[in-house]
Amino acid sequence: MSRRNGAAAGPPDGERRMERGEPLLSVEGLEKHFPVTRGLFKRQVGVVRAVDGVTFDVRKGETLGLVGESGCGKTTTGRLITRLLEPTGGRIVFDGRDITHLSQRAMRPLRRDIQMIFQDPYSSLNPRHTVGAIVGAPLRIQKVATEKGIKATVQELLERVGLNPEHYNRYPHEFSGGQRQRIGIARTLALRPKLIIADEPVSALDVSIQAQVINLLEDLQREFDLTYVVIAHDLSVVRHISDRVAVMYLGKIVEMADRKSLYESPRHPYTKALLSAVPIPDPRHRERRERIRLQGDVPSPLNPPPACRFHTRCWKAQEVCRTAEPPLAELAPGHRVACHFPEEPPAPARAGGREGQENAPGTTSPVS
């Protein structure tokens, strides 16, 4: 889904870097550890390693899907990138600038370029504010337009996301869930950001509405030359919208590849198990597929298993998996896997035969 509008004459330095293929966002060894305290004096008794050494790049105009079970650290990763959380370690470079430890004050101008779409369209909009106030808030905070200009911009945005501009003075409770998410998207677009972190953008919506919102996000990406990081547990949604996909397990990326490679040829046992659980609408393909049922729950990030964190649930685990952490190694161009015994890629003929297995967005997977 990577698309790029024609660059204007004389692009600034950042734009020129992008045209040479440099990433808009680079995350290196990112960590977020939450201390666990107990007692009156809040004595630290442990640490939750929510994100533990995550590394990836996102190129301009690209969509990276971050997928995994609840508690794998994908939402925390999104909040670290937007600097809603302070990283414990690692590095975040946005548009050529290290933003890892910028103060909130120093981050303020960058908030124009990095925006977030939240999961819950009900709680993310202030019920006491009108749609005009909500969508116009970023413009007022950043002082980028006059009141008259703000109203015109907000009405234009409402129209662009498929809402009636006449609803400027209405309140969130007067809208459906899908319409509220559109209001949230309009607010996100107000400052014309470069990067949008979309945290479960459709999981709270009815299945019939999910595809509409996903299509809207794709249209807006083309129109505004946006770069997305889409965080989701629904593998069908991620497949539909992403160019590349990173699979997380207990705070670490275990596999990362372009969409086609990952869905047609998963090499990490965890990814294979996740994909085997996605419903297939076509009964002919359904019969051919082997369902892998993982044993046990996800271990606690307070005390994750040593070495390969997946070894307590992996049917291929051997002694080395319990003693040595597998590196995220590149097994094929752009396809990285953290496993001592990765799955073999399917034979070419079989890979071609899987094309028809793609699910429509909105088909839910049990990964939650």
Count the neighbouring beta carbons within 10 Å of the beta carbon of residue 74: 28
User: How near is the Cβ of 250 to ligand SF4 at its closest, in Å?
Assistant: 11
Closest CA to 236 of 96, 115, 53, 360: 360
User: How near is the Cβ of 315 to ligand SF4 at its closest, in Å?
Assistant: 8
Report yes or no: 199 and 231 within 8 Å, Cβ to Cβ: yes
Output 335 or 340, the one with its CB closest to ligand SF4. 340
Closest CA to 235 of 270, 208, 206: 270
Report yes or no: 241 and 65 within 8 Å, Cβ to Cβ: yes
Sequence-distant (≥ 6) Cβ neighbours of residue 69 within 8 angstroms:
233, 249, 298, 367, 368
| Interaction between residue 316 and ligand SF4 (CB under 6 A) | yes
Output 251 or 269, the one with its CB closest to ligand SF4. 269
The contact pattern for ligand SF4, residues 321-350, with x = CB under 6 A and - = no contact, is: x----x------------xxx---------
DSSP category for residue 84: S
User: How near is the Cβ of 266 to ligand SF4 at its closest, in Å?
Assistant: 12
Task: Find the distance separating the first CA and the last CA of the chain, reported in whole Å.
Answer: 26
Residue at 69: amino acid letter: E
Output 228 or 270, the one with its CB closest to ligand SF4. 270
Which range of residues in 159-167, 228-236, 311-319, 360-368 is near ligand SF4 by CB under 6 A? 311-319
The contact pattern for ligand SF4, residues 132-171, with x = CB under 6 A and - = no contact, is: ----------------------------------------
User: How near is the Cβ of 340 to ligand SF4 at its closest, in Å?
Assistant: 4
| Interaction between residue 311 and ligand SF4 (CB under 6 A) | yes
Report yes or no: 117 and 186 within 8 Å, Cβ to Cβ: no
Closest CA to 243 of 219, 220, 224, 227: 227
User: How near is the Cβ of 57 to ligand SF4 at its closest, in Å?
Assistant: 24
Q: From the CA atom positions of the chain, what is the Rg in Å?
A: 21
Output 175 or 249, the one with its CB closest to ligand SF4. 249
User: How near is the Cβ of 344 to ligand SF4 at its closest, in Å?
Assistant: 13
CA distances from 356 to 67, 281, 336 (A): 22, 10, 25
Number of residues that bind ligand SF4 (CB under 6 A): 12
Among 30, 317, 328, 367, binds ligand SF4 (CB under 6 A): 317
User: How near is the Cβ of 295 to ligand SF4 at its closest, in Å?
Assistant: 13
Which range of residues in 18-26, 149-157, 175-183, 310-318 is near ligand SF4 by CB under 6 A? 310-318
Output 17 or 316, the one with its CB closest to ligand SF4. 316
| Interaction between residue 275 and ligand SF4 (CB under 6 A) | no
Closest CA to 339 of 239, 266, 258: 266
Two tokens at 89?
Answer: 């370690």
Among 94, 175, 228, 310, binds ligand SF4 (CB under 6 A): 310
Two tokens at 268?
Answer: 């990490």
| Interaction between residue 314 and ligand SF4 (CB under 6 A) | yes
Output 48 or 338, the one with its CB closest to ligand SF4. 338
Among 71, 269, 361, 362, binds ligand SF4 (CB under 6 A): 269
Output 45 or 324, the one with its CB closest to ligand SF4. 324
Which segments of the chain does DSSP mark as H helices, in order? 13-19, 74-81, 104-107, 131-141, 147-160, 177-189, 207-224, 235-241, 259-264, 269-276, 283-288, 319-323, 348-353
Interface ranges with ligand SF4 (CB under 6 A): 269, 308, 310-311, 314, 316-317, 321, 326, 339-341
